[in-house]
Amino acid sequence: AQVAVRAMSSSGGPGSPYTSLAISQPAEFITHVELNRPEKRNAMNKAFWSEMVDCFNAIAGDPDCRVVVVSGAGKLFTAGIDLMDMASDVLQPEGDDMARTSWNMRRIIAKYQDTFSVIEKCPKPVVVAVHGACVGGGVDLITACDIRLCTQDAWFQVKEVDIGLAADVGTLQRLPKVIGSRSLVNELALTARKMYADEAKSSGLVSRVFADKEAMLAGALEIAGEIAGRSPVAVQGTKVNLIYSRDHSVAEGLDYMATWNMSMLQTADVMKSAQASMEKKSPKSIVFSKL
Ligand SMILES: CCC/C=C/C=C/C(=O)SCCNC(=O)CCNC(=O)[C@H](O)C(C)(C)COP(=O)(O)OP(=O)(O)OC[C@H]1O[C@@H](n2cnc3c(N)ncnc32)[C@H](O)[C@@H]1OP(=O)(O)O
C-alpha cells in the first residue's frame, strides 16, 4: 500500500495508477487527493468509484501520510455521479430472476457506499475543501470527511430526488449527524434546494468559509500542517474514537476509549509531547516515530 501511495505522487499523468484522481504530497506527511476530471466537472465515473477505495486504502497503510486534503480540480468541486456511466453500471443489474437481480443490485450499491465509507474508515483525518458546486455524490463524499471547508461561492445540493432516487451512499445517514437541525436536513434532502456557503457555515456543515479557492487551499494546508505535526498515535486514536462515539452511547464510547488507550497510552509520544509542553515548545518540534 505504501508503495502505491509513493508511486502516485504528482499523479494524474503517465505512470499514475489513477485516471480520475491526482495525488501529490504538498508537505511532509500531507497527501493531497484531487478529484481530477475538470472538463467533466469532476463527475464521478466508474473509475472514480473504485479508485477512491484503492487510494484511501493505500493512504491508510502509508506511514508517510498523517493527514489528507481532498479538493476538486477546475471550475467546481464535483457534479456528483457521472450520469452517462450511471445507466450502464448502476441501472442494469444482471440476474435470472428478481431475487438474483435484487441481490446483485444490493452488491452494487454496497460497493458504491464503500467509496465514501473508506474515507471514514481511514484513520488519517481528511480535510475537504469545496469550491463552486458540490452536487449529489459530492455531499455523500464530504459528509464522510472530518473537517469541511468551502469558498464563498460554494453551494451544496442533495440532488438525488431530482434524478429519481433516494440518496443511498451516505448523505441520509451522515448529514443528520453533521448538522444539528433535522428539519434542515429533511428540507435539503426532500426538495434538493441549493444551500450556499453562509448557510453551510451557520448550519455547521462547514467550519470555515474562505474568499476564494487559493485562500481555502492555503487554509486547508495550514490545518493539515497542524494535524501532521502532532503525534500520529494521538491523532489517529482521536479520529477513530470520535467516529466510534458518534455511533454509540457515552458509556460504550468510554469503554471503547479505555480499551483503546490501555495500549495506545504506552507510547513514547506521550512523554515526548508532555516534555515539549513543559518546555513551552510546539508539538511540531517533536520527531515522532512513523505509524
Ligand atoms: C448507487 C449510486 C449512488 C450514487 C448516487 C449519486 C447521485 C448524484 O450524484 S445525483 C446528482 C447528479 N448530478 C447532476 O445532476 C448535476 C449535473 N450537472 C450540472 O448540473 C452542471 O454540469 C453543473 C451545475 C454541475 C456545472 O455546470 P457548468 O455549466 O459549469 O458545466 P456543464 O457545461 O453543465 O458541464 C460541463 C461538462 O461536464 C459534463 N457533466 C457535468 N455534470 C455531469 C454529470 N453529473 N455526469 C456526466 N457529465 C457531466 C457535461 O455533460 C459537460 O460535458 P461536455 O458536454 O462533454 O463538455
- C-alpha span between 123 and 130 (Å, rounded): 21
Place of cell 458509556: 251
155 within 8 A of 196, measured Cβ to Cβ: yes
Q: In tens digits, what is the pLDDT along the chain, a chain of 291 residues?
A: 343 434 334 456 677 899 999 999 999 999 999 999 999 999 999 999 999 999 999 999 999 999 999 999 999 999 999 999 988 878 888 899 999 999 999 999 999 999 999 999 999 999 999 999 999 999 999 999 999 999 999 999 999 999 999 999 999 999 999 999 999 999 999 999 999 999 999 999 999 999 999 999 999 999 999 999 999 999 999 999 999 999 999 999 999 999 999 999 999 999 999 999 999 999 999 999 999
Let me know if 162 is a catalytic residue: no
- C-alpha span between 172 and 35 (Å, rounded): 23
123 within 8 A of 236, measured Cβ to Cβ: yes
Interval between CA 138 and ligand 1 midpoint (Å) = 11
SS3 content of the chain, % helix, strand, coil (to 5): 50, 15, 35
139 lines ligand 1 (CB under 6 A): no
Instruction: For residue 247, give the nearest of 176, 158, 151 by alpha carbon.
Output: 176
Interval between CA 44 and ligand 1 midpoint (Å) = 9
Instruction: Return the number of other C-beta atoms located less than 10 Å from residue 160's C-beta.
Output: 23
Phi, psi of 170 (to 5 degrees): 135, -30
Domains and CATH numbers, the chain: 21-229 (3.90.226.10), 232-285 (1.10.12.10)
